[in-house]
Structure 1
Amino acid sequence: MDKLGALNMFVATAEHGSFSRAAEQLGKTPSALTKAVSHLEAELGSRLFERSTRRTVLTEAGKLYLETARQVLQRLHEVSEEIGQLQHGLHGNLRITAPLAYGRAFLDEVCAGFLAHYPQIKLRVDLNDSFVDLVESGYDLALREGRSDMPGLIARVVGQNRIALCVSPAYLARQPLPLGPETINEHDWLMYQHPALDRGIWWVERDGQRIGLPHPRVPRLESDNYDLLLAAALAGGGVLHTPLWSAAPYLADGRLVQVMADYQIDPDAFGPHILAVYPSYRRATGKVVAFIDYLQAFLRDNRIA
């Protein structure tokens, strides 16, 4: 029996939880899938599924085998694609996940430029602030802030995650009181809510001295949507604690002004870097490397991060 075909049928059955549903998806008969899985079980000397009239469930051996089978099929697909790219240039599909705020800040321009540069590549970009498991989700690449020490992942630094305090000229006209450690609670603050963020203290450094500052007691506006807070800052609503990669274009055209610029502000739980992350078992294919290189060059050349 075709071993690769049997592996594909096994993986489809595991993912659908049913021989009949997997057969329908593959365009084969349920008996063909049953025969393929039985052949694998006989070869391994172990059952891969517990079968009943109501459900088909992986055994412990089946769960172990599924992980490797997926990797084998994925790697063969990647190798086939890479061989094709040696002859015809970079092509195929590239799936990326990234935080929502990256889209407006720089990823929209990056994707447009990348597609123009590589006309045979098709992108799917999902913007989501929730944590995405790359191994389970099937994404080729994730863009993240901070650090990545999770097993099974490779992370490459593509930019810096430097923090600034920014306000609009309209806010400065309305509230001319200088912002400093002693006047934090005299200003209107626009605060981003995130489970990873410490809501007690944020840290700054000046002239070699590290200082812990309390968060504002009563922010003027709080939200878990960063774009909403950025819009409020541009409209003069208050002080925004923001990554420079987001504020850079508005600082350049004068719509935002940096305050407390002589202080170096810690990046908090999000960490000091913008990272491109991909599963270690998927060797970085040509299209993944090309996108990472393009993104890194864009951030560097535009002095965004």
Structure 2
Amino acid sequence: MDKMTALTMFVATADFGGFSRAAEQLGKTPSAVTKGVMQLEAELGARLFERTTRRMTLTEAGQLYLEGARQALTQLQLAAEAVDDLQHALRGSLRIVALPPFGPAFLNGACCSFLREHPELRLEVDLNDSMNDEAYDLSLRDGPIDLPGLIAQPLLENCLMLCASPAYIARKGASVTLENYQSHDWLILHHPLLNRNFWWVEHGGERMRLKQPVPRLTSDNFDFLLACLLDGQGLQFLPKWSAAPHISRGELVELDSDYWREQTALGPSVYVLYQPHRRNTRKVRVFIEHLRRHLDGLGIGVQAIA
């Protein structure tokens, strides 16, 4: 039996807690899996499992060997993918996770055009707020990025624009100043990282704290507020990546203001993140390059790789 097969059987046995369940998952017989593990034990001169009639547990040697076996199998899989990439068009699957607002803003279009260019590749795209980024090939996030073990590349700026629809401007006017901002109808996002009582703003080159206006409408859902903004229900600070397409179509107008609101709690950038062993994976690299071109085509300021 070759070494890679035996390692696969050993890892499956550790993951599923026994030879029979590992055999079922691998489509092998329990005796074949047992033989593979025993082959490794004979080579190492050490037992990998403590076996009883009721259960199997890893020995200390088994725990050490399991970590190395996983790494070896991962590296072999990545090497096989790299060789396959050199010889064939992109194929297989690519798993992506992103914040929900990124979907309609730019990710939908990027993924659809990517699929047209690479018909043999499958995409699995999850739009959610969970931070289980390690389970995916790459993820798109803003906010504080402090995820050990992941590479984070700045993708685009997260700068804010004060926006309103033409209908709102016709009703309430486009002038927003420190003197009259409280009289406007505000749409405000509730987010755990954002203070609900005040904003930090820059005015005349000076940083100052400004009392948050009483909102006409609040929500914890970005897309809900955006729909209300487009309907003319108020004015709102939007990140440029969300506002730009609507401004280009005339659906929203950027308002000139004598102050600029900071939103440092959500970070100055949107990042693309991936695990170090995915650095040279062709499908990850090609998708990131495609996404940057797509964002550039939308007129969003794409940041260079740091």
TM-score with structure 1 length normalisation? 0.86
The structure with more radius of gyration: 2
Determine whether 1:106 maps to 2:102.
no
1:99 and 1:129 in contact (8 A); partners too: yes
Task: Give the letter for the 1:228 counterpart.
Answer: F
* Structure 1 pair 213–24 and aligned structure 2 pair: CA distance change class (3 A): same
User: Is there any run of 5+ residues in structure 2 with no aligned partner, and where?
Assistant: 302-306
Match of 1:95 in 2: 95
Aligned partners of 2:46, 2:220: CA distance in 1, in Å? 49
Match of 1:129 in 2: 129
2:176 and 2:257 in contact (8 A); partners too: no
Determine whether 1:24 maps to 2:17.
no
Match of 1:197 in 2: 194
Aligned partners of 1:191, 1:199: CA distance in 2, in Å? 9
* Structure 1 pair 87–222 and aligned structure 2 pair: CA distance change class (3 A): same
Choose the corresponding residue for 1:148, options 138, 145, 151.
145
- Paired residues in the alignment total 301
Task: Give the letter for the 1:69 counterpart.
Answer: A
The superposition leaves residues 43-102 of structure 1 with CA deviations (integer Å, 9 ceiling, x where unpaired) of 556665566666555567655544443332222112112112212233322111111111
Aligned partners of 2:256, 2:203: CA distance in 1, in Å? 10
Structure 2 residue matching 1:213: 3-state secondary structure: strand
Match of 1:221 in 2: 217
Task: Give the letter for the 1:166 counterpart.
Answer: C
Residue 237 of structure 1: how far off its partner (Å) = 1.9
Q: Judge which range, 5-14 or 73-82, deviates more.
A: 5-14
Instruction: Say what the alpha-carbon RMSD is for the aligned residues.
Output: 2.7
Q: Judge which range, 98-107 or 278-287, deviates more.
A: 278-287
1:75 and 1:282 in contact (8 A); partners too: no
1:162 and 1:265 in contact (8 A); partners too: no
Residue 298 of structure 1: how far off its partner (Å) = 1.6
* Structure 1 pair 183–15 and aligned structure 2 pair: CA distance change class (3 A): farther
2:187 and 2:236 in contact (8 A); partners too: yes
Structure 2 residue matching 1:205: 3-state secondary structure: strand
Match of 2:227 in 1: 231
Aligned partners of 2:42, 2:194: CA distance in 1, in Å? 52
* Structure 1 pair 133–158 and aligned structure 2 pair: CA distance change class (3 A): closer
Structure 1 residue matching 2:300: 3-state secondary structure: coil
Choose the corresponding residue for 1:275, options 257, 268, 271.
271
Report percent identity of matched pairs.
53
The superposition leaves residues 250-277 of structure 1 with CA deviations (integer Å, 9 ceiling, x where unpaired) of 1112211223445443232221112111
Aligned partners of 1:60, 1:199: CA distance in 2, in Å? 52
* Structure 1 pair 105–3 and aligned structure 2 pair: CA distance change class (3 A): same
* Structure 1 pair 17–230 and aligned structure 2 pair: CA distance change class (3 A): farther
Structure 1 residue matching 2:278: 3-state secondary structure: coil
TM-score with structure 2 length normalisation? 0.85
2:142 and 2:269 in contact (8 A); partners too: yes
Aligned partners of 1:60, 1:247: CA distance in 2, in Å? 56
Match of 2:289 in 1: 293
Residue 220 of structure 1: how far off its partner (Å) = 2.7
Aligned partners of 1:290, 1:91: CA distance in 2, in Å? 12
Aligned partners of 1:56, 1:239: CA distance in 2, in Å? 62
* Structure 1 pair 198–27 and aligned structure 2 pair: CA distance change class (3 A): same
Match of 2:176 in 1: 179
* Structure 1 pair 22–174 and aligned structure 2 pair: CA distance change class (3 A): farther
* Structure 1 pair 34–302 and aligned structure 2 pair: CA distance change class (3 A): same
Structure 2 residue matching 1:100: 3-state secondary structure: coil
User: Is there any run of 5+ residues in structure 1 with no aligned partner, and where?
Assistant: none
Structure 1 residue matching 2:126: 3-state secondary structure: strand
